[in-house]
Amino acid sequence: MTDRDDTQDRARAIMRRLQHEVRTPIGQIIGYAELLEEELEERGAEELTPDLHRIRDAASRLLDLVDGRLRAEQDPGAPLLPEEGAGPQAEAESAKESIATDRPNRILVVDEDASDRELLARRLERQGFEVEVARDGLDALRRIEARPPDAVLLEVMMSGMGGLEVLERLRRQHSRAELPVILATALDESQDAVEGLARGANDYVSKPFDLPVVIARVQSQLEAHRTARQVAELARQLEFRSTFIRETLGRDVSDDLLVAMSEQPDALELGRARRPVVAVVADVRNSRERAAALAPAQETAVLKSVFDGLGEVVVRHGGVVEGVVGDSLVALFGLPLAAEDDAERAAGCAVALQLEMAEINERNERGGLPAVEIGVGVASGDVAVVTLGTGDRVHYKAVGDPPRRAQELEAQARGGEVWICTRTRERLGDLANVDREREIQPGEVSHRLLGLGGPRLISLRSVPAD
């Protein structure tokens, strides 16, 4: 940097400080004149109002004169300050419509100029806000740490710790949504606004304050702040309810099902009637031979790998894992919420379970574990839901024919096969791709499922030969 550049920078800084110091008292004259006009109007003593109008008009002309002679160089690409843009009246009307809240919003006004602090605090209080003041940047940080306000009006130019430094420190602890910060500047230029917005300010206003514009800007940020808090609270409630649902059901539940249950307050009132469900049972074959050939730790590792992988498939298809019984995984579709496509999702899940075994076996073989096969059965019907346990440890269990019949169907299946009951076959209609039937008892037929058509298109790669 040359000496000439250094001299220009110092001169520019001096001009900025001089403009600030000249504009501030003029702005206070305008502000107090407006405040006195409001108070006189409320008291019905309006005989002094014309004189106050003349004082305010004279101060405004003086301010225009100061800006014309003392304006520092302005970035031509910077945005307009609020009073230079169009629409203060529209912002004022918006403020009047949204000013009412359930409780007074608390605003922290930060300004080292006592007159400015008092003026702005009094005017905000008259608009229904609860106002706290801070005399400088450090005082503001202490007050915010002790009791965060709903919004902060922060003067940019202060000795010691300036407004932009305060803003930077606040943003390390509070996001824009958590704590709105509106910068206030007595400089009639956009440099502070541009830098402040880049550092995390929500908005900015200029001095002397146009009160309706200030109120509109504050109210807009408060509304965004309230919305952010409501969203955070809803997320917390949803997480709490999701955890409660998982613990109450005692089983894995998909995220989509959790959301659907959270939106229905009676979703967990399961014991009032019988519920239609589709049960899917997947059984790991050759358990005796495998147990004889493997050490207990290896057998446990095989089953864990299989059931972990199959459980993920069930959840992806919108089912719930009822539990693991011996070497069998039991899943239910339609509990706790029934849907028209329960049979389609259950059948698609059954086929997907067989397909998943290829990846599970490949993973197990890399770990020195043997490949295994599963047989899968699918059955539809009604169940009763009973509660087990007491107090905080209540769980629900489905009792009825579908799980038992699905287990009978998987027992007749060879490794790699999926068998479904007649009721499930009827619910699937033309979507089901079946290649053979088998009578499992007089008047009851099962069907070997090869895959599904339609939007859930899925097929087995192969089936055991006869």
User: What does the pLDDT look like over 182-232, one tens digit per residue?
Assistant: 998 866 556 767 788 888 999 888 877 777 888 888 888 888 778 777 766
Q: What is the mean pLDDT of residues 427-437?
A: 94
- How are strands ordered across the β-sheet holding 130-134? 130-134, 106-110, 151-155, 181-185, 203-206
Whether the per-residue pLDDT at 170 is higher than 70: the answer is yes
Nearest 5°: the CA angle 337, 338, 342 is 125
Cβ neighbours of residue 425 closer than 8 Å, sequence gap 6 or more: 432, 434, 447
Whether the per-residue pLDDT at 81 is higher than 70: the answer is no
pTM over 0.75: no
CA 27 to chain centre: 42
Percent of the chain with pLDDT over 70: 66
State in words which class domain 266-459 has. Answer: alpha beta
Q: How far is CA 263 from CA 241, 256, 340, 342, 361, in A?
A: 10, 11, 18, 19, 39
What is the reported pLDDT for 289? 86
What is the reported pLDDT for 68? 56
In sequence order, the β-bridge partners of residue 151 are: 107
In sequence order, the β-bridge partners of residue 107 are: 131, 151
Average pLDDT of the chain is 78
360 or 67: whose pLDDT is higher? 360
Whether the per-residue pLDDT at 261 is higher than 50: the answer is no
What is the reported pLDDT for 93? 47
What is the reported pLDDT for 25? 67
CA 261 to chain centre: 18
Residue 258 confidence class, pLDDT cut points 50, 70, 90: very low
Query: What is the tens place of the pLDDT at every residue in 366-398?
Result: 989 999 999 999 999 988 776 554 444 445 667
What is the reported pLDDT for 309? 94
Hey, what CATH topology would domain 74-249 get?
A: Rossmann fold (3.40.50)
Residue 433 confidence class, pLDDT cut points 50, 70, 90: very high
Which range of 57-71, 86-100, 341-355 scores highest in mean pLDDT? It is: 341-355
Whether cis (ω within 30° of 0) applies to the bond prior to 442 is no
What does the domain layout of the chain look like in residue ranges? 1-73, 74-249, 266-459
Residue 120 confidence class, pLDDT cut points 50, 70, 90: confident
